[in-house]
Amino acid sequence: MIIPVLDPHFRPFIGFLEQFERETAALPQEQRAQIVLSVSHGDRREVYAYEGFRDGVDDARNCFLAERLAKTLLWVYGGHRLGVYGSRKIFEFLRERYSEKGARAFDFGFMQDVYEQPFVVEELAEAPVRQTVSLRVGGHLEGCRIGFDAGGSDRKVSAVIDGKAVYSEEVVWHPKTQSDPRYHYEGILAAMRTAASKMPRVDAIGVSSAGIYLDNKIMTASLFLQVDRKKYGDYVKNMYLNVAKEIGAPVTVANDGDVTALAGSMELGEGKVLGIAMGTSEAAGYINGEGGINGWLSELAFVPVDLDPEVMRDEWSGDSGVGCKYFSQDAVIKLAVAGGYQFEEGLTPAEKLKVMQTLAEGGDPLAERVFEDIGVYLGYALPLYARFYDIKHVLLLGRVMSGRGGALVLKACRQVLETQFPALTSLNIVLPDENSRRVGQSIAAASLPSVR
């Protein structure tokens, strides 16, 4: 194993999982059980099957692994029903953990809110069968289209005619600090009206925005962090639909991670693209082999990658070892401090990231080590992600991947894959340049709706 120098206690989830599989495979058949976990919503069901211990053989490790896998399934795929087949002990354990007062109360409540259904943990009498949905989105370039990208610090809009951006603008705004949703509505509407004025007509609108969207409705999004959803629930939920009515064109809304992956897929001319953005947190999106999206959450920020029990906890979910603390500016700061660096008082996390990036550009050994260790993290995370995504291409994006630091992350990641996971060395891992990513993102967003 390659150890992150500044985090010597790192215990990769994929390592534990592979060791567990080796041990169960060596057991007599009577001590093994086929364990199947599933998450579902509507007609969609995702399944993860593996060999575990039969109840009574090693319940502690059996339940521990099942809980980490269940957590992963929920945040990769999403759903409000968690099914367990093959172990009564695991079912009882997960039912207690994923409950209103259980250790995973955050996940329990989040999934209920997103899917607007009670969250249920159920014991299954039969092994569940996977039922997938592939939604073909994007790649529609004909006509006059608006592409809108709602960021946390600026909003970007493009007027696109037959796949070519004829006008683009970026406007600074502050949606995360505004409690009145009219601020958001008026800003979005103004951007779209500006784009509309640059074209003879508007045939369709595509929106790329951080958050979770179902049927083009805003289920949860950090842009509305300060808005009282109890007071403005339907107004916020239907905001993009209402703006589209004002413009007079159909709209398709997608998570910005999926749109980033779509932009990469359109440029590569292939699917099976996983996009990972490392910035304030870890964001992700996926385009499948058919060039569509699967209706998954892909919230990798909450997926466990480290099983060391003493690591930093995510302040929001309360869980430890999850991606947002390994693939973000928080990871840079954490590793720098672990290496003995003392930041000036009063710096924001973004400013601290910039300090480390500047030092790395100058060849500072500690700063270089920080980004190399993030690359080690990533080298162990990608094989885990590959258990749930069929990946051919990986796009690495976000502020953490800028400059020389990003190149160091990529180099260390490839070293881990080459030495520890040779079956994955064929992954095409790329760092798109910022300019092509921004232009590509606006065109990809505009291409979301089909108007045929």
* 144-253 classified as CATH 3.40.50.720: no
Angle formed at CA 60 by CA 55 and CA 65, multiple of 5 degrees: 95
Contact status, residue 381 vs residue 327, Cβ threshold 8 Å: yes
SS (H, E, C) 186-228: HHHHHHHHHHHCCCCCCCEEEEEECCEEECCEEEECHHHCCCC
Q: Residue 32: what pLDDT?
A: 96
Contact status, residue 428 vs residue 180, Cβ threshold 8 Å: no
What DSSP element (H or E) covers 437? helix 434-446
Contact status, residue 394 vs residue 427, Cβ threshold 8 Å: yes
- Nearest CA among 189, 294, 173 for reference residue 251: 189
**Residue 413 — φ and ψ, nearest 5°?**
-60, -45
Q: Residue 440: what pLDDT?
A: 66
Beta bridge partners of 83: 38, 122
Contact status, residue 7 vs residue 307, Cβ threshold 8 Å: no
Strand 251-255 versus strand 204-209 pairing type: parallel
How far apart are the C-alpha atoms of 147 and 149, rounded to whole Å? 7
How far apart are the C-alpha atoms of 246 and 239, rounded to whole Å? 11
Q: Residue 437: what pLDDT?
A: 57
Q: Residue 434: what pLDDT?
A: 63
Contact status, residue 367 vs residue 360, Cβ threshold 8 Å: yes
Along the chain (452 residues), what's the average pLDDT of each consecutive run of 10 residues? 96 98 96 97 94 97 98 97 98 97 96 94 96 83 94 87 92 90 96 97 93 90 88 94 97 89 88 91 91 90 95 88 95 97 94 96 98 98 98 92 95 98 95 66 86 74
Q: Residue 136: what pLDDT?
A: 78
How far apart are the C-alpha atoms of 303 and 383, rounded to whole Å? 13
Question: What is the DSSP secondary structure assignment for residue 314, as one 8-state letter?
Answer: P
Cβ within 8 Å of residue 39, ≥6 positions away: 45, 46, 70, 73, 74, 77, 78, 79, 81, 82, 83
Q: Residue 133: what pLDDT?
A: 81
Q: Residue 439: what pLDDT?
A: 56
| DSSP reduced 3-state for 34 | strand
Q: Residue 197: what pLDDT?
A: 97
Domain with CATH 3.30.420.40 in the chain: 144-253, 261-440
For 89-94, the CB contacts below 8 A with 24+ separation are 89/55, 89/56, 89/59, 89/62, 89/63, 90/35, 90/52, 90/62, 90/63, 90/66, 91/121, 91/122, 91/123, 93/63, 93/66, 93/67, 94/63, 94/66, 94/67, 94/70, 94/121
DSSP string, 74-120: HHHH--SEEEEES-HHHHHHHHHHSSTTSTTHHHHHHHHHHHTS--E
- Sign, CA torsion 438/440/441/442: positive
Give, in words, the CATH class of 261-440. Answer: alpha beta
What DSSP element (H or E) covers 241? helix 239-247
How far apart are the C-alpha atoms of 350 and 88, rounded to whole Å? 47
Beta bridge partners of 33: 52
